[in-house]
Structure 1
Amino acid sequence: MSNVFTLFCTMFFSFAALILACVACAGSTKNYTPINLIYVAQINLSKMDLTKVIPDISSSLELSSVLPSYFNIGLWSYCIENSAKKVTSCTSPDGIEKFNLKSLLYDNIQDNNVLSLIDSVASLILPDKLEKDMTYYNDMAKCMFITIIIGICLSFVSLVFSFCRSVFHLRLITFFGGFIAFLAFLSLLISVGTSMATYIYIRHILSDNYGDYGISLTLGKSYLGVLWGAVVAAFFNFFCWCFVRATPRVMYVQPPMMEKREML
């Protein structure tokens, strides 16, 4: 494998990892397709029993007139979907999204009569399992957020090193290029791993404690697909760096043999 082709592969895979990670990170920040369809997890309220969540509410009141049917949770913000599975709006990006189900429901109640029944967020009758584990969740959320940012930055740095290595034949650039590529792969792998572990844990809590309320959670397939694609691209980037030679190959040509002349 020639050095030129290997360096081209590092450029291609580092660029692919950079773009895919950026797309995953930007998911659910704007109500534009396909950004609004990329989310870490989706909260399904379409089958929620309002009379159990808010005991004083009228049983004849339809859910769609009070709350959105779906919440699409991203890294920075969340989007709202109606019962027809159409995204209607997204919140402004404001940092790491915290999974606070009480606040999420309270902030999105659309009926003034329902709001008048609630004196505070604490009036929502929901189990406290998530509240007790909120510190654990927030730490995991910070981890998956920080590691994807690190992965994006390192993928860009790796791309820069690939260009530099194609111009300058220095061992130091080759070493640091491979090292940066490995760190980018590791950061993105940690991010997707913590994302899956966190929301699988949240889904387990919801199924055990919120099933009676009709509230469920599913993982975002588009987000995981894009981020896993970034992880695979970052791995191939590191793999290709392992075959980049530190110095260009020098062809040794043996000089012609001098003919021996017989002495007379």
Structure 2
Amino acid sequence: MANFCALVTTAFLSFAALILAIVACAGSTSNYDPINKIYAAQLDLSDLNVDAVLANVSSSASSLSLSSLGLPSYINVGLWSYCLADASGDVTNCTSPSGIQQFNLRNLLYDNIDNNQVLELIDSVSQLVLPEKLQDNLKYYNDLVKCMFITLIIGIVASFINFALNIVRWLLHFLVITWFARFFSLVAFLSLIISAGTSTGTYVYIKHVLSDNYDDYGISLDLGRNFYALLWASVAAALLNLITWFAVRSKRYAYVQPIEEKPLV
């Protein structure tokens, strides 16, 4: 009975970790509720200091505002794509998924300026002025974002394999299946916690950098609560799944009543 309960629990936990990680990974890939509400970070451009960001063309930018630039009030950064939101926070559209979504604030601003006159004044994306500390470490940030993305995918695959092995374990009571399941549950947990920790640390640091320069540029960043709730919940499920797998016996045991031999008369 205890073995049955352990197997049921591991099936539930591995499936929960898988679904939670998949939903987090799919965030902001399309403009449908609730997918469009799941994002790793949200850039707040509602108080953008146009004169500071367009300092190289300040003589022509002094009369420009956020609306005249055509920029959205918010940009929700997902793993595969990003979504644009208006002043009320409602998502208007999302980009098509295009692989690992790197964090490049200059490109995000440049790509979303919907004003041809302004674009003619800016010869290249490098003319957008942003915090040096943010731009100098851009490669480092994006290496961490890649790590977060890759480990999340590994965690999803490992969770799926673990769930499949759980189903097989119901039918076959071999020791090797139990140990393979334990191995993939360990891989799933380690991958998911690395992904969650890397993502959280990276965006918390970027948030800190933008906060220090907010008075100059008027740009802030907030972490996506829904995304991190899903991601850390999948980590918790994966950890509990790993622990529970060690309560699963490799095979069934039956108690055999020894037969007493009667003495020969």
Q: TM-score range by the shorter chain?
A: over 0.9
Determine which of 86, 105, 122 is the counterpart of 1:118.
122
Residue matched to 2:45:
45
Is the aligned partner of 1:161 residue 2:182? no
Determine which of 53, 63, 68 is the counterpart of 2:66.
63
Provide structure 2 residue ranges, at least 5 long, that are not aligned to the other structure: none
Higher Cα Rg: structure 1 or 2? Answer: 1
Deviations 1:68-100 (A, max 9, x none): 000101111111010011000111111111211
Report the structure, 1 or 2, having the larger helix content: 2
C-alpha distance in 1 between matches for 2:41 and 2:78: 7
Is the aligned partner of 1:173 residue 2:205? no
- RMSD (Å) for aligned C-alpha atoms: 1.7
Kindly tell me the number of residue pairs found equivalent between the two proteins: 261
The alpha-carbon deviation at position 11 of structure 1 amounts to 1.0
CA contact (8 A) 2:131 2:210 kept: no
C-alpha distance in 2 between matches for 1:103 and 1:31: 21
Residue matched to 1:35:
35
CA contact (8 A) 1:51 1:57 kept: no
Q: What letter matches 1:173 in structure 2?
A: I
The alpha-carbon deviation at position 30 of structure 1 amounts to 0.7
C-alpha distance in 2 between matches for 1:18 and 1:56: 53
CA contact (8 A) 1:28 1:72 kept: yes
Aligned ranges 1:100-111 → 2 under 5 Å: 100-111=104-115
CA contact (8 A) 2:14 2:162 kept: yes
The alpha-carbon deviation at position 53 of structure 1 amounts to 1.4
Residue matched to 2:203:
199
CA contact (8 A) 2:29 2:97 kept: yes
Q: What is the TM-score when the length of structure 1 is the normalising length? A: 0.93
Residue matched to 1:14:
14
CA contact (8 A) 2:29 2:95 kept: yes
Distance 1:56 1:124, change over 3 A: farther
C-alpha distance in 1 between matches for 2:67 and 2:178: 58
Residue matched to 2:151:
147
C-alpha distance in 1 between matches for 2:223 and 2:24: 14
Determine which of 112, 131, 134 is the counterpart of 1:127.
131
Q: What letter matches 1:50 in structure 2?
A: V
Residue matched to 2:259:
255
C-alpha distance in 2 between matches for 1:57 and 1:99: 28
Q: What letter matches 1:106 in structure 2?
A: Y
C-alpha distance in 2 between matches for 1:125 and 1:142: 25
The alpha-carbon deviation at position 233 of structure 1 amounts to 1.0
Task: Give the match's secondary structure for 2:110.
Answer: helix
C-alpha distance in 2 between matches for 1:251 and 1:209: 71
CA contact (8 A) 2:28 2:35 kept: yes
Identity rate, percent: 53
Moved more, 146-155 or 209-218: 209-218
CA contact (8 A) 1:56 1:117 kept: no
CA contact (8 A) 2:48 2:219 kept: yes
The alpha-carbon deviation at position 121 of structure 1 amounts to 1.1
C-alpha distance in 1 between matches for 2:183 and 2:143: 27
